[in-house]
């Protein structure tokens, strides 16, 4: 079994962050481990408070894992402070043979800023060059590049600019564009590959970015090519969104274990 590590924040509502990552790892048949960067007070209504873990504790979590356990993939999510980013980068720079998936979490769906403004440059300068693939949505890509994105051509321009900052691949997600079809674009430095999907009408999309990036880390840990890993991860998140459900008054989570049981907990005997 492959061992995959998530470095991210905790979501007390269970739909995103560390909780979504570990559920996704389990659904993919890999062993999940976690280094927690922050604890959030969060419900389906939004993020109400954040308490960061100290850089010293983050570094210690990383050190003891890498010293003891073979790690086959890493996903990096919420990293809110410059000191946190530099600490994580210092450790991961020693392990660049491992596929690293960077999900540049910046703002929650409710509008809470999860990345401090002064930390943006640290993320661009320290973490982006270490990533095998970075997975920004359009608002995140706009923050990274400083450019507005309103169509596929502008997505490509932004993706090329982000690729120039150092990651091996850029998967820029088009879910914020209007239209019946939502298209994600993968750039390898020379060519683009499009992954279109019919848009699924639901408010229950909490944790989609975390889940997709964790799925990518799991698939890459198994040795899949980047294009195949994206294809498999897109299929997984699409089904998870199709089977999403409400648990509170705000956006609910996707169903991470849709292939095993339905939302009533009944075992899916067809798979």
Which of 70-74, 223-227, 250-254, 260-264 shows the lowest mean pLDDT across its residues? 260-264
Say yes or no to pLDDT of 265 above 90.
no
Say yes or no to pLDDT of 270 above 80.
no
Residue from 159, 205, 211, 252 carrying the catalytic annotation = 205
pTM: predicted TM-score of the whole model, two decimal places: 0.95
pLDDT, tens digit, 9 for 90 and up, residues 233-246:
999 999 999 999 99
| 166 is known as an active-site residue | no
Say yes or no to pLDDT of 72 above 70.
yes
Say yes or no to pLDDT of 269 above 90.
no
Residue from 77, 208, 211, 252 carrying the catalytic annotation = 208
Superfamily of domain 3-242: Ribokinase (3.40.1190.20)
Max Cα-Cα span within the chain? 50
Residue from 37, 210, 211, 222 carrying the catalytic annotation = 210
pLDDT, tens digit, 9 for 90 and up, residues 96-130:
999 999 999 886 665 666 777 788 899 999 999 99
Decide if 17 contacts 206 (C-beta within 8 A).
Answer: no
Residue from 173, 174, 211, 234 carrying the catalytic annotation = 173
**What strand order describes the sheet that includes 46-52?**
46-52, 31-43, 3-11, 73-76, 100-102, 133-134, 169-172, 181-187, 192-198
| 87 is known as an active-site residue | no
Residue from 40, 207, 211, 252 carrying the catalytic annotation = 207
| 173 is known as an active-site residue | yes
| 210 is known as an active-site residue | yes
Q: How confident is the model at residue 226 (pLDDT cuts 50, 70, 90)?
A: very high
* 259, two tokens: 């292939």
Three-state DSSP class for 124? helix
Instruction: Note the pLDDT of residue 112.
Output: 65
């Amino acid at each position: 079994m492959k061992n995959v590590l998530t470095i991210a924040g905790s979501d007390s509502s269970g739909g995103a962050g560390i909780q979504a990552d570990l559920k996704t790892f389990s659904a993919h048949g890999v062993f999940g481990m976690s280094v927690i960067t922050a604890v959030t007070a969060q419900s389906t209504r939004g993020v109400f408070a954040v308490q960061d873990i100290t850089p010293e504790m983050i570094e210690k979590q990383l050190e003891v894992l890498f010293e003891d356990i073979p790690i086959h993939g890493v996903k990096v999510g919420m990293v809110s402070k410059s000191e946190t980013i530099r600490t994580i980068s210092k450790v991961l720079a020693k392990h660049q043979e491992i596929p690293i998936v960077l999900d540049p979490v910046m703002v929650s769906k409710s509008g809470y800023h999860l990345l401090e403004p002064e930390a943006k440059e640290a993320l661009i300068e320290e973490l982006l060059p270490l990533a095998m693939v970075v997975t920004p949505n359009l608002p995140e890509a706009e923050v990274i590049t400083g450019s507005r994105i309103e169509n596929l051509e502008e997505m490509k321009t932004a993706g090329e600019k982000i690729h120039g900052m150092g990651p091996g691949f850029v998967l820029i997600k088009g879910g914020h564009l209007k239209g019946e079809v939502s298209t994600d674009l993968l750039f390898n430095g020379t060519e683009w590959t499009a992954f279109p999907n019919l848009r699924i009408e639901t408010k229950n999309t909490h944790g989609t970015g975390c889940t997709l990036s964790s799925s990518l880390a799991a698939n890459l840990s198994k040795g899949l090519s980047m294009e195949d890993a994206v294809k498999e991860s897109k299929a997984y998140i699409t089904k998870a969104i199709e089977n999403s459900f409400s648990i509170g008054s705000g956006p609910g989570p996707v169903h991470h274990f849709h292939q095993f049981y339905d939302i009533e907990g009944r075992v899916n005997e067809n798979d």
